[in-house]
Amino acid sequence: MAPPAQAHRSPSPSQPSGKGEVSDLKSQLRQLAGSRAPGIDDSKRELFKKVISYMTIGIDVSAVFGEMVMCSATSDIVLKKMCYLYVGNYAKVNPDLALLTINFLQRDCKDEDPMIRGLALRSLCSLRVANLVEYLVGPLGLGLKDNNSYVRTVAVIGVLKLYHISAPTCIDADFPPTLKHLMLNDPDPQVVANCLSALQEIWSLEASTSEEASREREALISKPVIYYLLNRIKEFSEWAQCLVLELVAKYVPLDSNEIFDIMNLLEDRLQHANGAVVLSTIKVFLHLTLSMTDVHQQVYERIKAPLLTLVSSGSPEQSYAVLSHLHILVMRAPFIFASDYKHFYCQYNEPSYVKKLKLEMLTAVANESNTYEIVTELCEYAANVDIPIARESIRAVGKIALQQYDVNAIVDRLLQFLEMEKDYVTAEALVLVKDLLRKYPQWSHDCIAVVGSISSQNVQEPKAKAALIWMLGEYSQDMQDAPYILESLTENWEEEPSAEVRLHLLTAVMKCFFKRPPETQKVLGAALAAGLADFHQDVHDRALFYHRLLQYNVSVAERVVNPPKQAVSVFADTQSSEIKDRIFDEFNSLSVVYQKPSYMFTDKDYRGPFEFSDELGNLSIAAESADNVVPAQGVEANDKDLLLSTSEKEEIRGATFNVSGYSAPLYDSSAASVQSELAIISSTSAGSAPSSSLAIDDLLGLGLSAAPAPEPASVPPSLKLNSKAILDPGTFQQKWRQLPISLSQEFSLSPEGVAALTTPQALLWHMQGHSIHCIASGGHSPNFKFFFFAQKAEESSNFLVECIINTSSAKAQVKIKADDQSTSQAFSDVFQSALSKFSV
């Protein structure tokens, strides 16, 4: 117990300065120390209380240490406790004085009253002075053997405290084996629980240096220990039950019988009044059944009711903790919760952190049957007084629109938002309409009519303004006034604070120019001139780039700036499945609340970028507008992508290559991007443009430039695959349903391959190197499932692969479907050779 606020005084002005009072106390204590008059304990108590209260508010009362110790010779237990508290607080900074207390503490450790023995032992271990540890070993040893369980519980934790003061002393005294013995034999459940806590800590810390310790740590999750603890689970206090359940969740049962036995034994824990116990039990259930898909789903059904009860009972803080866990489960299996959507409706007075989670869950569970109700409800929130929540609700409507097939009604609602004439509603709705148009270009007609009526003066937020400008450029042929609005925006170039908006303005003017040259020519000149004079590097560079491009060849420029666009089928997911799985592994902990794995907030290296910026959920919003033309890359958005703002539009990306200046290789690569774009437009096969060895999407995309280039040597000559194959998930699913299985095979994996699969991402990268792209992947050790696709280089003939890998048997089961059945064997060979080369 370090002194609470010894160095710094509490800022409250009303508190006494201290000095005078302390010396006063000192003399009063001294008077009492020797006295044995009746009733002396009462006056001592008053004084001690004063000392403790000064200590609490941060006044340094260490000066009376000696007097306190002198007064400690008392039989009054309350006095003793206050004295122990005081000593514990100041011993660390006054090691010399602490020595004074050893004597009376050691004496108390042998008191006939077990309370006093326990208290003294606890205080003795709380002194935390390294050179006094020798005095601890003896009393601790006796304490562990004490016939009173209270003393034993204290002694067990005492061992842990000793370990933290001086690990070698603790190990040399052979305390850990003693604890293990106690854990497995003590009749008192609290002693057992404390042993478990202590041993987990000690062995985890020792494991890095000692093999024996790491064996012991493993032994804690061995069958005998787990069964022993499970059989006693009802004896434990609710807190100890959490501890035990946490341990059980790490246990790997041998077979399904064991799993069912454990679940049957623990099922009644789901009815426990303590939410923490219920959550721990849920964790056990979920982790035990990970490899049993059907049962896992039943577990979800079973835990639904207890979770929903927990959410609606207890303080807002408690329900928030539960709701965070419900949130992660809903995200993993939205369909199971689809019928419970009404539980996620927000109440008017709920705190916004609760509302936010509920909104995300409402978004996730929306499907054909409940979308109407959910969207109606979300629209109610759009008029909410709480503006951040209103914004979230509008975004939620947009997200639902993007994940649904029937967006008809939703588009109407979004357009109604635009007519609500509230700044923030308009702003959010504009951004959404833009995203929506990128996925469903067929709605452009309806949307543009409404968007065209919005005055650009009423839109101030950069994101919304950028969205509006993007639409002006993209649909300038349909919007009568587009060139003139752009013109007035360009006139106010100087006043526009946001570089993002100015970048968009440049591009939009370019696009407009190609569609309506005579009306735009003048604006284009003005915009390029303003851009070239811009102090912002990106804006300047883009203006220069456009300028040179136009000088070089106007029709090339048009193809660069205004190529026919493919509708975006799937927007990038912000969190990789790997991260999500890690969070799920750490169920029932802070990871779930923070929505990031623990290494990101407990490791010092990771903390940096997140510090003070951990506003929940902002990660998921930031990347909403991320472009992801090739779905295969969605799966691969790695940790780093999370940190990057992926909000730039595709047009910007072309320019961001220039951002870092004019360094030659970068410039080349952007030239390559132009080339490869040309290549695609002229629909020449990709193979004919060898200089653009990287797929265009990589150049534009999410930092995939590190992707290994295809290795032609590794591909047998019989079958050439297109390294830039594109297939959207919808088509994939359709084809997968239509095509028969042309080959079903089982391959063996090399041990290195199995080892490398600890990060399934690695396989995706590897296969991409062989021009086999992943469209979806999932699963958990030992079972992984991947869906791949590949395309023939010469013609658009697709191969679809389902690959189930079991790492414990090192086998891969592969099902291949092909447009052209005759080549499936050849493809299978390619696939197998690629897979066999997979290693760390």
Partner 1 sequence: MPVAASAIYFLNLRGDVLINRLYRDDVGGNMVDAFRTHIMQTKELGTCPVRQIGGCSFFYMRISNVYIVIVVSSNANVACAFKFVVEAVALFKSYFGGAFDEDAIRNNFVLIYELLDEIMDFGYPQNLSPEILKLYITQEGVRSPFSSKPTDRPVPNATLQVTGAVGWRREGLVYKKNEVFLDIVESVNLLMSSKGSVLRCDVTGKILMKCFLSGMPDLKLGLNDKIGLEKESQLKSRPTKSGKTIELDDVTFHQCVNLTRFNSEKTVSFVPPDGEFELMKYRITEGVNLPFRVLPTIKELGRTRMEVNVKIKSVFGAKMFALGVVIKIPVPKQTAKTSFQVTSGRAKYNASIDCLVWKIRKFPGQTEPTMSAEVELISTMAEKKSWTRPPIQMEFQVPMFTASGLRVRFLKVWEKSGYNTVEWVRYITKAGSYEIRLAS
278-337 residues in contact with partner 1 (CB under 8 A) are 278-280, 305-306, 308-310, 312-318, 320-322, 324-325
- Residues 575-604 close enough to bind partner 1 by CB under 8 A: 586, 588-594, 598, 601-602, 604
Q: Which of 228, 239, 260, 747 binds partner 1 (CB under 8 A)?
A: 239
Task: Give the one residue of 2, 219, 252, 671 binding partner 1; rule: CB under 8 A.
Answer: 2
CB closer to partner 1, 591 vs 628: 591
Cα–Cα distance measured from residue 99 to residue 104, given in angstroms and rounded to the nearest whole number: 10
Question: By three-state DSSP, how is residue 785 classified?
Answer: strand
The 3-class SS string of 568-636 reads CCCCCCCCCHHHHHHHHHCCCCHHHHHCCCCHHHHCHHHHHHHCCCCCCCHHHHHCCCCCCCCHHHHCC
Q: Using the minimum distance from each CB to partner 1, give the nearer residue, 246 or 802.
A: 246
Cα–Cα distances in angstroms (integers) from residue 244 to residues 196, 240, 346, 593, in the given order: 8, 6, 35, 22
Q: Give the residue with the Cβ less far from partner 1, 22 or 278.
A: 278
Q: Is residue 133 a contact point for partner 1 (CB under 8 A)?
A: no
Stated length of the chain: 840
Q: Site for partner 1 (CB under 8 A): which residue of 12, 17, 645, 822?
A: 12
Q: Which is nearer to partner 1, 192 or 509 (CB)?
A: 192
Amino acid in position 8 = H
Q: Find out whether 735 and 798 touch, Cβ atoms under 8 Å.
A: yes
The residue (of 311 and 793) whose beta carbon lies closer to partner 1 is 311
x-or-dash string of contact with partner 1, 190-219, rule CB under 8 A: x--xx--x--xx------------------
Q: Is 456 within 8 Å of 468 (Cβ atoms)?
A: yes
Closest distance to partner 1 from the beta carbon of 604 (Å): 7
Is residue 439 within a helix (H) or strand (E), and if so which, with residue range?
A: helix 423-439
Among residues 17, 347, 618, 738, which is the contact residue for partner 1, using CB under 8 A? 347
Shortest Cβ distance from residue 375 to partner 1 (Å)? 13
> What are the distances in angstroms from CA 354 to CA 317, 388, 580?
9, 13, 21
Site string for partner 1, 503-542 (x = CB under 8 A): ----------------------------------------
Instruction: Specify the residue, 233 or 655, whose C-beta has the smaller distance to partner 1.
Output: 233
Minimum separation from the CB atom of position 313 to partner 1 (A): 6
User: Which of 360, 377, 534, 650 contacts partner 1 by CB under 8 A?
Assistant: 377
**Contact stretch for partner 1 (CB under 8 A) within 52-60, 553-561, 703-711, 779-787:** 52-60
Task: Write the interaction track for partner 1 spanning residues 110-129; mark x where CB under 8 A is met and - where it is not.
Answer: --xxxxx--x--x-----x-
> Rounded to the nearest whole angstrom, what is the least distance from the CB of residue 434 to partner 1 in the complex?
25
Nearer CB in complex with partner 1: 291/318:
318
Q: Is 34 in the site for partner 1 (CB under 8 A)?
A: no
Distance linking the first and last C-alpha atoms of the chain: 47
Member of 238, 478, 573, 802 binding partner 1 (CB under 8 A)? 238
Any contact of residue 345 with partner 1 (CB under 8 A)?
Answer: yes
Strands 773-780 and 743-748: unpaired
Task: Note whether 228 binds partner 1 by CB under 8 A.
Answer: no
Pick 324 or 807: Cβ nearer partner 1: 324
Residues 790-819 that bind partner 1 (CB under 8 A): none
817: which strand partners?
800
Task: Examine residue 605 and tell whether it contacts partner 1 (CB under 8 A).
Answer: no
- The torsion of the CA quartet 305, 306, 310, 311, rounded to 10 degrees, works out to -30
Which of 48, 787 has the CB closer to partner 1?
Answer: 48
For 582, residues 6+ apart whose C-beta sits below 8 A from its C-beta are: 591, 597
In the region spanning residues 381 to 400, those forming contacts with partner 1, defined by CB under 8 A, are 383-385
> What DSSP string runs through 406-428?
--HHHHHHHHHHHHT--HHHHHH
Partners of residue 802 on adjacent β-strands? 787, 815
Among 34, 177, 351, 525, binds partner 1 (CB under 8 A): 351
The reply on whether position 242 binds partner 1 by CB under 8 A is yes
How far apart are the C-alpha atoms of 265 and 259, rounded to whole Å?
A: 10
565 binds partner 1 (CB under 8 A): no
DSSP string, 46-101: HHHHHHHHHHHHT---GGGHHHHHHHT--S-HHHHHHHHHHHHHHTTT-HHHHHHH
Find the binder of partner 1 among 342, 445, 548, 565 (CB under 8 A). Answer: 342
Whether the upstream peptide bond of residue 177 has omega within 30° of 0, thus cis, is no
Q: Is 640 in the site for partner 1 (CB under 8 A)?
A: no
Residue number, 495 or 615, with CB nearest to partner 1: 615
Work out the angle between the directed axes of helices 462-474 and 423-439 (0-180°, nearest 10).
40
For the bound state, the minimum distance from the C-beta of residue 260 to partner 1, rounded and expressed in Å, comes to 15
Q: How far is the CB of 741 from partner 1 (least distance, A)?
A: 44
Please name every residue paired with 811 in a beta bridge, in sequence order, or none if there are none: 748, 806
149 binds partner 1 (CB under 8 A): yes
Residues 84-103: x/- map of binding to partner 1 (CB under 8 A)? -x------------------
* Cα distances (Å, whole numbers) of residue 605 to 150, 209, 596, 599, 617: 41, 22, 15, 9, 22
Instruction: Report the nearest approach of partner 1 to the CB of residue 487 (Å).
Output: 28
What residue has token string 């696939």?
831
Nearer to partner 1, 88 or 779 (CB): 88
Closest distance of CB 526 from partner 1, Å: 34
**Closest distance to partner 1 from the beta carbon of 24 (Å):** 20
Residue 661: is it exposed, middle or buried by C-beta count within 10 angstroms (0-12/13-18/19+)? exposed
Residue 16 binds partner 1 (CB under 8 A): no
Q: How far is the CB of 614 from partner 1 (least distance, A)?
A: 5
Q: Provide the minimum distance between the beta carbon of 342 and partner 1 in the complex, in angstroms, as a whole number.
A: 5
Stretch in the footprint of partner 1 (CB under 8 A) among 32-40, 240-248, 570-578, 795-803 = 240-248
Tell me how far apart the alpha carbons of residues 565 and 568 are, in angstroms, rounded to a whole number: 9
Using the minimum distance from each CB to partner 1, give the nearer residue, 272 or 735: 272
Residue number with CB closer to partner 1 (176 or 306): 306
d(CA 576, CA 395): 21
Judged by beta carbon, residue 377 or residue 474, the one nearer partner 1 is 377
Q: How far apart are CA 617 and CA 327, in angstroms?
A: 12
Task: Enter the tokens of residue 254.
Answer: 């041998």
Gap between the Cα atoms of 27 and 552, Å rounded: 94
Q: Is the dihedral of CA 782, 787, 791, 792 positive or negative?
A: positive
Q: How far is the CB of 69 from partner 1 (least distance, A)?
A: 18
Residue 683 φ/ψ region, left for φ over 0, alpha for ψ in the -120 to 50 degree band, beta for the rest: left
Helix (H/G/I), strand (E/B), else coil: 725: coil
Cα–Cα distance measured from residue 158 to residue 180, given in angstroms and rounded to the nearest whole number: 15
Q: Which helix (H) or strand (E) holds 240?
A: helix 238-248
Burial 189-216, CB ≥16 within 10 A → b, else e: bbbbbbbbbbbbebbeebbeeeeebeeb
Contact flag: residue 718 with partner 1 (CB under 8 A): no
Instruction: Tell whether residue 56 is a contact of partner 1 (CB under 8 A).
Output: yes
| Nearer to partner 1 (CB atom), residue 27 or residue 602 | 602
| Interactions with partner 1, residue window 156-195 (CB under 8 A) | 157, 160-161, 164, 187-188, 190, 193-194
